[in-house]
Amino acid sequence: MRAIGTIDLRRAMRLYVIPDRTVGAPLSLEAQARLALAGGATALQLRDKGMDGGELLGEATRMLSLCRARNVPLFVNDRLDVALACGADGVHLGQSDLPVADARRLAPRPFVIGASVRTPEDAARAVRDGADYLGVGAVFPTGSKDDAQVIGPEGVRAVVRAASVPVVAIGGISLGNLDAVMACGADGAAVISAAVRGDVSANMERLSLALL
């Protein structure tokens, strides 16, 4: 399946949803993705550390089909091989994943590479190595990543000031703290629990009203 072409990454970062099998149970990843897209998600990320490569590829292929129907980009967390195999728009790399520079050599633009960063120095290095957007955080404590280093809204602001590419804030973001995050100048918010815990449609309606 072919990529959707030139992506407006600043727009894509606005309401960036990451379905989660545990947080969003009993809904499947595919069901969560379908509801998130119907509710206005501007990007989806497939992230599941528990799936093997074959399972993840199948999930990515199904999710990509949903994204294409809405003209919304899909990014695969960590697994560059899966992202390339299914034809996803890009990959998102954490700081302990494949180095951005190596990923860029394997996947030239327009394939999109996102990188997780915490500091302006991280941001400069990631952009120099070929990152197209930055995920900055954790902004607040988050149950989805117990070992995440919390940088707070001011940490987001510092990265935004230094960054030359779009920035999406991530980590513990909810409707209650969303205004503080966006006031830091981020292009958008990446959400897990705020989108897929409980009533996904109702969650997405509230997030869309706040962000879109």
Question: Which listed residue (62, 68, 145, 206) is catalytic?
Answer: 145
Q: Is 145 a catalytic residue?
A: yes
Helix, strand and coil content of the chain, in percent to the nearest 5, comes to 40, 15, 45
Question: Which listed residue (14, 34, 79, 116) is catalytic?
Answer: 116
Q: Is 47 a catalytic residue?
A: yes
Architecture of domain 9-210: Alpha-Beta Barrel (3.20)
42: nearest Cα among 8, 63, 12, 65: 12
Q: Is 11 a catalytic residue?
A: no
Question: Which listed residue (34, 47, 118, 157) is catalytic?
Answer: 47
Give backbone dihedrals phi and psi of 76, rounded to 5 degrees, phi first: -105, 130
Each residue's pLDDT, cut to its tens digit, for the chain (212 residues) gives 445 557 999 999 999 999 999 999 999 999 999 999 999 999 999 999 999 999 999 999 999 999 999 999 999 999 999 999 999 999 999 999 999 999 999 999 999 999 999 999 999 999 999 999 999 999 999 876 666 799 999 999 999 999 999 999 999 999 999 999 999 999 999 999 999 999 999 999 999 999 98
